[in-house]
Amino acid sequence: MLHPADILHSRCPWRFLVLTLAVLCWPLMGVAEPGAMLSDGLMGGALTRLAQAQPTATRPAESGTTAPAQPSLRILPIHQAKFLAGARFDFRIEADHLAVKPTVWEVTVAGQPLTAFFGTQGQITHTTGTSQEQTLRDVTLTEPGTYTVSAKVVAGETTLTKTVTYEVVAAKPTARQARNVILFIGDGMSLPIRTAARIVSHGLTEGKYNAMLEMDEMDAYAAVTTSGMESIATDSANSASAYATGHKSVVNAMGVYPDNTKNPNDAPRVETIVELVKRTRHMAVGLVTTAEIQDATPAAMFAHTRRRAEYLAIMDQYLHPPQMADVIMGGGSASLLPQSTPGSRRKDNRDLFKEFEAKGYTTVTTRTELAAAGAPDKLLGLFQLGTMNVYLDKAVFKKGAVLKQFTDQPMLWEMTEKALGVLEKNPNGFFLMAEGGLIDKQAHPLDWRRTVWDTIEMDKAVGVAKKWATAHGNNTLIIVVADHAHSMSITGTYWEGDGKKGREAVRVYGEAQFPDYRDADGDGFPDQVDVSRPLAIHWANHPDYYENYTVFDEPIAPTVKEGERWVANAQRAGADVLQPGNLPASESNAVHTVEDVPLTASGPGAEQFHRTIDNTEVFFAMANALGLDARQGKSPFVAER
């Protein structure tokens, strides 16, 4: 190809014309090359070249646990761990970053050598090449009391010592024993979210609520702490695991303590409430959620993994008899379909629907099928490939682009009612966890309406459970609790009636008056979502986003990614009130907050909840109410993975 300089220096009389053409056409010469197209197209705008020649890089691997570089010694379970006498667990001691192999490895429990105390020496490993571990699978502490575990490791010049203490308790039977436990978890449902649901659902007259929520009208009230073993801020895996096991862990972990291996599914386990009630009492178990059944909260009730995203491993555990629930409902069917089926997320051709059916489960996939299912012995209801849709989308807006094929999804209260009808058949009682899983999933993108309407949906499920308990002997402990907080807060109301807009239309103190939601049909939800004086909601932590105080008839992400930064998404309609972010620009959504969360409870054992308690105590309160004796029954850990 001729260069413009060659043309200029030629003797051709048309060189200026040729040069002009050449220069003006120069940028177009590469257009025909693949990946370098510049043109307008179907979407009507101008197109800009994106493709460019750069070296191909591989996707970085997920980062693992960051270990300190100094020699260190870790004992798992951790210091101050509390056990129900007889509960099963894996014991592990890790010495990391050693210059040489240890020559002294002394571990004692209650003054006895470790091997003698537990009757096994377990397995010695060297995971990293500079580490040594000893793992004793499936052990237990059967006698109540305080246990001291001491370790001494000598490796070359390095001497490491560590001492931890454990508390082992037997269940303290409450004045009246519970036959059943229903644990409602409003994911991220902090106190202001409950208040907003009450205002929107019932309204006030001259300052007094016209009615309280079902979750308000309970016998006991407590505040619950939420922090994990490594951080004040937690996630739904770690926090639900505290309720399910009585043990603290770390973000992304459930039913395990974090170890130094890369395999997320070999971490040392602690027994879960599902495993306990099944092996010691042969109780029925139900797990119901509006999220995916593999999501953190339902999975933490029975599963053991360091990494909550291990959906396929979690599905394997769903099918492991000691962990198997009798009723499983929610979204997430994509992890059950063979990979050859469109919509599957599996990496093999197993059909888990068929595997559940072979184990006696009745399977349903729509609200209509659920209603027609009667009361089978075992029920698997999966109503979405992924997360189920929120109340506002499945029951109010019903947009085809949002619901797609999933136009017939049940409400949480319908799933709860059906679950109770199945579980009540077991003469040994049941444990049911029902989760309003999308309260959190809508709080993250700062969509307060979807958050609050889903809280009302869960409140109706609480009402169903209370009514059922009253009709069935008042021997069911019902707990309603969040797993962590979000920073949503109610400032007052928002009103444009005098022509003000944006922040100037936020009404505070006396000017806030009362929102004008009305529930003429008495279904618990306002008849109109878009009222003239809605709540004015603000968030304490957020990325850059637009707060326009309007209703979106489909979910809209608050941010989009530009380079390494998440910036406000202009698609939030009427996007004119930018809220400058106060989180690092690497955060795309609001994040969990650290405040205590409210818990309300009714039924036998509810009296245990009356002050500020650690989140692990919710587990022991359930064990006390049921009078669980964890020394009974065979270990659920016998089938090693």
Partner 1 sequence: MSRRLGISLACCVVALTALGISLHWLPVGARQVWRQSENTLQFSELYAGGGARGLVLSAKLTSLHSKRVVMAGYMAPPLKPALDFFVLTRVPLALCPFCASDAQWPEDIVFVRMPPGQTVKPTAAPVQVVGRLDIGTKTDAATGFVSLIRIEAEQVAVVR
Residue positions annotated with a catalytic role: 236
Residue from 21, 232, 375, 639 in contact with partner 1 (CB under 8 A): 21
Angle made by CA atoms 562, 564, 566, in degrees to the nearest 5: 55
d(CA 613, CA 223): 6
Backbone angles phi, psi at 341, to 5 degrees: -90, 125
Structure tokens of 281?
């009492």
- Any bridge partners for residue 608, and if so which? none
Beta carbon of residue 342, minimum distance to partner 1 (angstroms, whole number): 4
Span interacting with partner 1, options 70-78, 81-89, 404-412, 474-482, rule CB under 8 A? 404-412
d(CA 69, CA 81): 26
Residue from 225, 559, 602, 608 in contact with partner 1 (CB under 8 A): 559
Residue from 93, 141, 293, 296 in contact with partner 1 (CB under 8 A): 296
What is the footprint of partner 1 within residues 430-459 (CB under 8 A)? 444-445
d(CA 208, CA 202): 10
Antiparallel, parallel or unpaired: β 158-169 and 82-84: parallel
Residue from 270, 456, 567, 622 in contact with partner 1 (CB under 8 A): 567
The 337-356 contact track toward partner 1, x by CB under 8 A, reads x-xxxxxxx-x-----x---
d(CA 320, CA 315): 9
Backbone angles phi, psi at 432, to 5 degrees: -125, 125
d(CA 499, CA 512): 16
Beta carbon of residue 470, minimum distance to partner 1 (angstroms, whole number): 33
The 233-272 contact track toward partner 1, x by CB under 8 A, reads --xx---------------x--------------------
d(CA 529, CA 395): 12
Name the nearest CA neighbour of 86 among 621, 618, 635. 635
Structure tokens of 521?
């049909």
Asked if 393 and 296 touch (Cβ cutoff 8 Å), the reply is no
Beta carbon of residue 13, minimum distance to partner 1 (angstroms, whole number): 9
95 or 300: CB nearest partner 1: 300
The 200-239 contact track toward partner 1, x by CB under 8 A, reads -----------------------------------xx---
Rg for the chain (alpha carbons), in Å? 29
498 near partner 1, judged by CB under 8 A: no
Beta carbon of residue 29, minimum distance to partner 1 (angstroms, whole number): 10
169 or 312: CB nearest partner 1: 312
Residue from 406, 430, 448, 539 in contact with partner 1 (CB under 8 A): 406
Beta carbon of residue 592, minimum distance to partner 1 (angstroms, whole number): 11
What is the footprint of partner 1 within residues 572-591 (CB under 8 A)? 588-589
Counting Cα atoms < 13 Å in the Cβ hemisphere of 76 gives 27
Helix (H, G, I), strand (E, B) or coil at 541: coil
Q: Is the dihedral of CA 376, 379, 384, 390 positive or negative?
A: positive
Beta carbon of residue 459, minimum distance to partner 1 (angstroms, whole number): 24
Beta carbon of residue 468, minimum distance to partner 1 (angstroms, whole number): 26
What is the footprint of partner 1 within residues 44-63 (CB under 8 A)? 44-60, 62
362 or 366: CB nearest partner 1: 366
